[in-house]
Structure 1
Amino acid sequence: MTRQNRRIIFLIFLLIFIILVPMVIFYSEGYSFDWEKRTIVVSGGMYLKSYPPKADIFVNNKLSGKTNKFVRRLVPKVYEVKISKEEYHPWLKTITVEPGLVTKLDNIFLVPLNPKILLVASESQEYKSFVEKPYSLDNLTEIIKKKSKYVIFKIENINVDKSGKKIYFLSNNNLYSIIWDENNPENSTLSGVLVPNVLNYTIYKDGIIYLDYFTGKIFELDVSSLKSAEVFDRVFPSFNQGKWALSDDNKKLLCQKDKSVEILWLADENDGSVMRKKGDVEQIDLGQTIVDVLWYPKTDQHLIIASEDSILFTELDNQLPRNTVKFINTEKPEIKYDADNKILYFFSQERLYQTEL
């Protein structure tokens, strides 16, 4: 080999070194090449976690592995993401990847395509606990009227605490409670007025959260001291009517409307893809009459909704499209979720059914 050939080989390797070393350094620092813009950019990524796991991940129609997975080195731009698994409804979302950031999507819930539905025997304990209550409304009303020092015209908005013994209710916009004696209702203990001028309320942590009639503001009641504290310094007029339901994490308050639900954030929350601030309100329109709504406690980011002809499952994530799935077709169902056993019960046409969810 001549000296000239050796020089040529040396220069070739030197040139390769000069080109490759910066590329390796850029790659190790999280840079990628954007072929569309023909420039070097700081890459981003997305973490995808689904229930159940091991679902296929498609990013812009390209298979990118299975959940749960961190998809790395994505050029910053908008991506169409699809999560699919056999025997489940697909999950779709339009995601914007930002430079140097990871978009976290860890509440992807895949709804079964053909859920296994079982009829619950009418003589079973599950049937009795769903259908039967420790009190009848007539009996409860009668006992309250007997024990009250005030005139009780109508009892409404009844809520039972976790013990199943303390019952809260509204009458004439006043909030009361009664410690119910199931064996001997006559021995039940009725409180005085806990809070006057209440438009709406629900049980919150160890107390009550309620909407004040005159100010239109939301307060938290300490049931031990009967002292109230303002939760927000502004009003929420749309929450004065409709069923209230609190998420299990106590961070979100739902108000059920005729064909929509409104969610009020009681605390800051970052679910990985969307940052919510205390006081944020979001409306989810269903376009059909809502019979009942439950929080799905596994995530506290999904709702189980009973409509007039079906049971729906939807998500809070407002990045488009919002995934709303018709889970079960059934007429005007009453719904109840058993979080311990992960079973959804629904009562329709005088029969009780159950399915895993």
Structure 2
Amino acid sequence: MKLHHRRALFLGAFFLFTVVAPVVILGASGYRYSFQEQVLVPTGTLVLKSYPEGAKIFINRQEEVKRTPAEIQGLSPSRYTLELEADGFRPWRKEVEVQGHRITAEDQILLIPKRIAVSSVLNEEIRTFAVSPDGRNLVYVRPGKSAGKSAGTSDEGESLWLFSLEGEKERLLFPLHTEEKEVLSSDSAINRLLWLMEGQGIAFSVSTAASRRYFILPLSEGGKEGAFEVIPPEKGEIDQWKWSKTGLNLFFMQGRALYRADYGTKSIERVVPDPIQGYSLLDHFVYFVTISPPVLFKQDLGTGERTEIAALPIESEGGLTEQLVLSAHGEIALIDRHKVLWLIDNVPSGRVLPLAGSVQAALFDETGGRLLYQTKQGLIVHYLQEGGTLGAPEAGSYELVVHRRGAVIGPTWYSDQFHILYGADDAVYITETGGQGLPNTYSLLRIPGEAPKFVYHDRDQVYFLFRNRLYQADLAFGKPRSLLGSRS
């Protein structure tokens, strides 16, 4: 080999080992040389996941080669403008901060279709309805003026019907027998509807100007069982209807007493001997707050054995009721009569911590790690558990996801447990939670001239009434069931 060839080879090798190799090693170690500052700076990683996958990624308006899901490494510490685009979907945009030696994740991005599929469920006028817990059936009230169109119904009052959302079959539920028809008259109204025991029965009330009557009705295939009339132990109405998985039972309060109406035994019994000011059900337990002194208890519905959870720093005056809120995993929150929200440890002698004031409603997500609550300022999420990536909320932190002083209707968690649905004015909205910066909020449906009193079901369907007609909107956005966070 000639001398100048050896010299060129030596210089090339020297360049590789002294210049290129350190750059490669430093890059692999999470560093980059900043020519502007003339120093080595640590780099960060950006993780992007979206549904649908395959969305185009733009960072500071520059399109990336990768598509979602993507891990983009070697980013200098800075604030970046991110944009995702996919055909048929609205663009997603957000500013995020990337820090050195940290992973910044936006891994719950939901791209919203430009058009939401809406369809009519029933071709007749209805007054109210309720969707079963499994999402397969609904019951609805047909106004009295149209009840006479079907055989076997009464022309003098409203009627209650069962409709299968899968088979599109309907069946008259009430009145069906002679004694049931006598309950309804021209001034009767079938009011509150409550599904029982995962859809195996229903409770409802029939009211007139002079009285109100209550019924439990099983929904077997044959439909031969009659309704059981629940006669309140005392005069007056009953409230705080709830159901459990322990049987075809209706739990209710009358005054300060908690009762259980059992369809199987056709009986009514008092569940708790103490006067109480609020209760909630979880599996085979009832949680309740006594009045004097105000103490939170847990009682086994089968054995009657009770456990004291916590003495509560609230007043024990009558007249108003506390709201107990439970998660599926047993986390406990309480809204007292002064609208103060408390978080309570579900263990004997548990801690009682105040969270916020002027709270109107609260709802845990499925994991029990986040608590959504509503105030006059809007919707706030309290994080009980800490995230593991940059920008993820810390345990004990709060996030104002909807800042709105007007009425917010029916806030609830979307099936992925990272978005929230709510109604306002004449629209239904969806908003993000948990990411950096301001959450993206999208209008999904507009119901002109009517308040969006919608019912959302975990099968990603929204049901709503418009001019006394029932409609269904598909919010699955084409997602396969295996991708939905709340599915098993």
Partner of 1:292: 410
The answer to whether the 8 A contact 1:121-1:127 is kept is: no
Taking a change above 3 Å as real, the CA distance of residues 209 and 114 of structure 1, as seen in their structure-2 partners, is farther
Q: Secondary structure of the residue that 2:203 maps to in structure 1?
A: coil
Taking a change above 3 Å as real, the CA distance of residues 39 and 171 of structure 1, as seen in their structure-2 partners, is farther
Unaligned runs of 5+ in 1: none
Kindly report the root-mean-square deviation, in angstroms, between the aligned alpha carbons of the 2 structures: 3.8
Of 112, 133, 139, the match for 2:213: 139
Partner of 2:307: 227
Q: Secondary structure of the residue that 1:20 maps to in structure 2?
A: helix
Taking a change above 3 Å as real, the CA distance of residues 285 and 209 of structure 1, as seen in their structure-2 partners, is farther
Partner of 1:178: 260
In 1, Cα distance between the equivalents of 2:83 and 2:297? 41
Partner of 1:356: 474
Q: What TM-score does the superposition give when structure 1 sets the normalisation length?
A: 0.79
The answer to whether the 8 A contact 1:334-1:348 is kept is: no
Partner of 1:116: 117
Partner of 1:87: 88
The answer to whether the 8 A contact 2:59-2:82 is kept is: yes
The one-letter amino acid of 2:456's match is Y
Taking a change above 3 Å as real, the CA distance of residues 78 and 109 of structure 1, as seen in their structure-2 partners, is same
Deviation digits for residues 333-354 of structure 1, max 9, x if unmatched? 23223324x3222223312111
1:158 aligns with 2:277: no
Taking a change above 3 Å as real, the CA distance of residues 285 and 88 of structure 1, as seen in their structure-2 partners, is same
The answer to whether the 8 A contact 2:214-2:231 is kept is: no
Taking a change above 3 Å as real, the CA distance of residues 63 and 196 of structure 1, as seen in their structure-2 partners, is farther
Partner of 2:61: 61
In 2, Cα distance between the equivalents of 1:194 and 1:93? 55
Partner of 1:71: 72
- Pairwise CA distance, 1:107: 1.2
Runs of 4+ with deviation above 6 angstroms: 123-127, 141-145, 209-217
Q: Which structure carries more relative contact order (alpha carbon 8 Å, separation 6+)?
A: 1
**Across the two proteins, how many residue pairs are aligned to each other?**
345
Q: What TM-score does the superposition give when structure 2 sets the normalisation length?
A: 0.60
Unaligned runs of 5+ in 2: 142-159, 161-192, 194-201, 206-211, 217-227, 311-343, 346-350, 476-488
Partner of 1:310: 427
The one-letter amino acid of 2:412's match is L
The answer to whether the 8 A contact 1:255-1:262 is kept is: yes
The one-letter amino acid of 2:243's match is V
| Percentage of pairs with the same residue | 21
The answer to whether the 8 A contact 1:168-1:175 is kept is: no
- Pairwise CA distance, 1:120: 0.7
Q: Secondary structure of the residue that 1:139 maps to in structure 2?
A: strand
Taking a change above 3 Å as real, the CA distance of residues 169 and 310 of structure 1, as seen in their structure-2 partners, is farther
Name the stretch that deviates more: 242-251 or 114-123.
242-251
The answer to whether the 8 A contact 1:208-1:221 is kept is: yes
In 2, Cα distance between the equivalents of 1:176 and 1:2? 101
Deviation digits for residues 22-81 of structure 1, max 9, x if unmatched? 112112222223344332222111211112221122222222232111111111222122
- 1:36-51 matches, cutoff 5 A: 36-51=36-51
In 2, Cα distance between the equivalents of 1:211 and 1:66? 53
The answer to whether the 8 A contact 1:45-1:73 is kept is: yes
In 2, Cα distance between the equivalents of 1:237 and 1:215? 22
- Pairwise CA distance, 1:241: 5.2
In 1, Cα distance between the equivalents of 2:306 and 2:111? 44
1:256 aligns with 2:374: yes
In 2, Cα distance between the equivalents of 1:6 and 1:117? 75
